Amino acid sequence: MDTSYIKEFVTLAECMSFSTASNILFISQSSLSKHIKTLEKELGVLLFDRTTRSIRLTEAGRTFMEYATQIADLYDKARITLEDMRTRSDSSLIIATMQNPQYYDMAKYVVSFKEEHPDIAFQVVETDELGLYELFRNGLVNAFPTFELFREEPEDYRFMPIVRSKIDVILRADHPKAGNATLSLKDLAGERLLLPARGTTLSRLILREFNRTGITPDIVYEGSSTGSVDLVKAGLGIAMHAEEYCRIVASDDRIVCIPVAPPIDFVYGLAYRDPALLSLAEQIFLSHMKKFELK
């Protein structure tokens, strides 16, 4: 999903006019219309009701607007910060990370780097998974944490595996299956599911495994990890997330975390450009991260 298309959607939704939005965005109306249709195809829903005279958001469009605004705002904040620091030097470093960098111990790696190299100034910029790819494509960052799966874009990076993880199920403590040692995907058939945000690697991984088992999941929520756990507690359904996140929330006695069996595995690590294209500070950070590389 192209972040620029999401920003175009937000602009169109705010002014409700293809002509006005295209002028604001400095693109043709036909290009804007094509981009919106591409976005609708990727999401599998109509975002706008169109007539010859006007347009209006559909119910799906109003729902997507909430998430699209957040994505656009996060990307803009990250872009502004990085553009201010675009002139790299050998004594400064920009570290881009996904939201919640405490997952997969990324915060630990950053802190240990700072302790070992106090002379290198650095700034951590947080955005969502799609925003990281966009920042990389635009040359605003040269390294970022990501997943090894689904590496169709961007293609011009190398990958260093750091963490091997798997998917767990999060249930209310009073759920009938809360006492199980493990849960299979067949055990989850008919359950209301709360999944990571649509289009993210973990969401695609989970849906791929359901498809392989021939089960159609009953998805009632796709969004943030915090939001899904709150909804689990409220009794809306059960959530599926990385075991690292499950460890963080497992101290809450209102919920339990259970491994999926057979396991749904994935690898998390660092994506980076050809080392010859990195600044000295970036090369030092890369060497630091290699100490944690999976063997």
- The residue ranges of every structural domain in the chain are 3-76, 81-162+268-290, 164-266
- Per residue in 8-33, pLDDT tens? 999 999 999 999 999 998 899 999 99
The domains spanning 3-76 and 81-162+268-290 adopt the same CATH topology: no
For 164-266, CATH number out of 3.20.20.10, 3.90.420.10, 3.30.930.10, 3.40.190.10 equals: 3.40.190.10
The CATH code belonging to domain 3-76 is: 1.10.10.10
Neighbouring residues of 226: CB distance < 8 A, sequence distance ≥ 6: none
Q: How far is CA 57 from CA 13, 17, 91, 155, 189, in A?
A: 7, 11, 48, 35, 33
Grouped pLDDT means (10 residues each) for the chain, 295 residues: 85 92 90 92 90 88 90 81 59 77 74 89 81 82 80 68 93 95 96 90 92 94 89 95 88 94 92 86 91 90
**Burial status of residue 285 (CB atoms within 10 A of its CB: 0-12, 13-18, 19 or more):** buried
Dist. CA 78–CA 37, nearest whole Å: 27
C-beta separation of 100 from 91 below 8 A: no
**What local confidence, expressed as pLDDT, does residue 93 receive?**
82
Instruction: Please report which residue ranges of the chain form alpha helices under DSSP H.
Output: 3-15, 18-25, 29-43, 59-84, 106-116, 129-137, 201-213, 225-234, 243-249, 280-290
**What local confidence, expressed as pLDDT, does residue 177 receive?**
96
Phi, psi of 144, deg, nearest 5: -160, 150
- Rg value, the chain, Cα: 21
**What local confidence, expressed as pLDDT, does residue 149 receive?**
67
Beta strand spans in 234-284 (E): 238-242, 255-259, 265-272
Fold exhibited by the domain 81-162+268-290: D-Maltodextrin-Binding Protein; domain 2 (3.40.190)
**What local confidence, expressed as pLDDT, does residue 3 receive?**
81
**What local confidence, expressed as pLDDT, does residue 101 receive?**
62
**What local confidence, expressed as pLDDT, does residue 90 receive?**
61
Dist. CA 170–CA 148, nearest whole Å: 24
**What local confidence, expressed as pLDDT, does residue 273 receive?**
87
Q: How far is CA 184 from CA 51, 88, 103, 193, in A?
A: 47, 49, 24, 14
C-beta separation of 125 from 81 below 8 A: yes
